[in-house]
Amino acid sequence: MHFKECMTPSTGAAPSTFFSAVQFVMSAQCLIQTRDWPEDAELQDFEEFDFIIVGAGTAGSILANRLTEIKDWKVLLVEAGGDPPIESDIPGLTNSLYDSKFDWKYTTVNNGLTSQANKGGNIKWPRGKMLGGSSSINVMAYVKGHPKDFQSWYDEGNKEWHPDIVNKYYHKAESLQDHMLRKNPAIQNEYGHHGPLFINTYNITNTTLIDEILTSFDEIGMKPVEDLNTVNNMGSGRLRVTATDGKRISSATAYLNPARNRKNLKVAKKSYVTKILFNGKTATGIEMDRKGHKYKLKAKLEVIISAGTINTPQLLMLSGVGPKKHLEEINIPTVVDSPMVGQNLHDHTSIPTLIFADEPEAMDETTKDMESIKYLYDRKGYLAYHPYQDLTAFYSADPDSTYPDFQALVVFHYKHDGSIKKFASEYVKSVENSVLKLGKNRAMFQVRISILHPYSRGNISLSSNNPYDHPLIYYNSFSDDRDLDATVTAIKMLLKIVDTKFFKSIGATTGRLKLRACDGYEFNSDAYFRCIAVNMASTIYHPVSTAKMGRDISSSVVSSRLKVHGIDHLRVIDASVMPSITSGNINAPTVMIAERAADLIKEDYNKLR
């Protein structure tokens, strides 16, 4: 059954149960029909475009929009996945997309040292495989980072990325929707107001609990901040998000959909690029697998790789651009010996710190069902926000610092809602059993503590010369002891929250996790925390820097203008080009990078107006 129009709600004092049910169904149908994705283009072998963009993720969707603003540029956008499902639109259903066909399902290599409490000894690394990429699967947090992050990029010789320039392109992307924040002139000036990307605050209904936790953060020195994207983003508060009216706003929603009818844009979905084609050291096009047919497509001006931190170095290496020794080992002819391709991998290593308490209680099933139905009317309730919520704190080991070392993200596991069991099932049996014992008939606060500026570095390499084989992800968390020392400091600072007024009132406690490697250490000692951190290490899914920008090919992959060293007509534009990770979630910086890169391209062809 399909309804062509939304139904006007009943205004009667006591509408019939049947008519109310019909209205809810009609509302649901309208919700499903709100996205009009680009059509899947018909292509001819050897068809020529001015630009071919590989990957319709956060960056690729933006580039497709901005480059087709130039009407005489013909652009092809290629995406391995398809259209996002309705679960992507509804924030509260996001977790159902992990380990699905909309996720690349990457995992790190088990190194036998870290993450050994995780089942398999590795880390799952969800990446979006659909229009919008990871902006269609992430927690929607909009964190712009700290000016010092971009000053360090600039100081390394990347002259196109001064903090003032970066801020200009954030503003170009943004449209702040939060009416309360817009009343504050200082905050209003920190955002743009006319960009395609809506920035707002989740429609959360459990604000009493959030306020109690913010008060608790305040008691341990993490002062509440109205907006964490201000210049000195230290303290606690609620994150801004790329969601509005209870629905996700991905890059595909904000940028690709408005451009979908442009005559100079074609979008090829469920199409997998297997190789960049070269004439000597000049990129000339791509080889692509689409529904079992191999296409060769030509790029008159440039090929742009926006495949993300994992897929971008994989594609470069499959095409012969990478460390020569590694390419020779797997029988790939070297086009350019680029030693930093796939190197410098880092992320925000995340440690789940667990606090058990007598509250909060989960809503009963009837109430939850009614909230689900109510969401269709007012876009509020538990479906209007990601299960990770939006409650966070940025803090530093130095109480006088204005530059954060750590981020803590609070996840609620309500009493009797089954989420503790699901969380515990990700770990080896001894840890699983101890979490279930500690959480029996209790609630749990999972505080995910991340080191914002890690020293440890990993790498991505090819597992074979078969483009369909997943690459090998060597994360190497805690390979630098400074990260482990910092993590212990972060955990100890955070756990002071257990002794605050609110947490005491709900009987909050921590508890020993049973893990053979850690059983010999005194509970809550530095040695115990170090052991737990090493063995429970995960990430917050912010991989960056595997095609970093820099001065030359010996230390980086692309120039400050994002051109691949040693190759003409080839750029990389996505999170992989970051010289170093920013202070917080990386979707906002990736948006900014794409906006800036689009203008760099226009400048290079004298098209910038």
Residues belonging to the active site: 542
Handedness of CA 109, 115, 118, 121 (dihedral sign): positive
Which amino acid makes up residue 494? L
- Say if residue 543 is preceded by a cis peptide, omega within 30 of 0: no
Instruction: Give Cα separations from 433 to 112, 117, 337, 350, 509 (angstroms).
Output: 22, 12, 50, 21, 17
Distance between CA atoms of residues 608 and 600, nearest Å:
8
For 325-394, what is the HEC assignment? HHHHHCCCCCCEECCCCCCCEECCEEEEEEEEECCCECCCHHHHHHHHHHHHHHCCCHHHCCCCCCEEEE
Work out the number of other CB atoms within 10 angstroms of the CB of residue 21: 11
One DSSP character per residue, 218-277 reads HHTT--B-S-TTSSS--EEEEPPBSEETTEE--HIIIIIGGGTT-TTEEEE-SEEEEEEE
**Which residues, 6+ apart, have CB-to-CB distance to 486 below 8 Å?**
397, 405, 406, 451
Residue entry with tokens 């013909």: 74
**Which residues, 6+ apart, have CB-to-CB distance to 261 below 8 Å?**
none
431 known member of a binding site: no
* Radius of gyration, alpha carbons of the chain: 24
Distance between CA atoms of residues 25 and 27, nearest Å:
5
Collapsing DSSP states into helix, strand and coil, what is residue 505?
helix
> Please, are residues 108 and 401 in contact by the beta-carbon 8 Å criterion?
no
Q: Where are the beta strands (DSSP E) in 376-482?
A: 391-395, 406-413, 443-451, 459-461, 472-474
Which amino acid makes up residue 122? N
For 105-164, what is the HEC assignment? CEECCCCCCCCCCEHHHCCEECCECECCHHHHCCCCECCCCCHHHHHHHHHCCCHHHCHH
Using DSSP, how many helices (H) and how many strands (E) does the chain show?
Answer: 18, 23
> Please, are residues 305 and 572 in contact by the beta-carbon 8 Å criterion?
yes
Collapsing DSSP states into helix, strand and coil, what is residue 60?
helix
Binding residues for FAD: 273
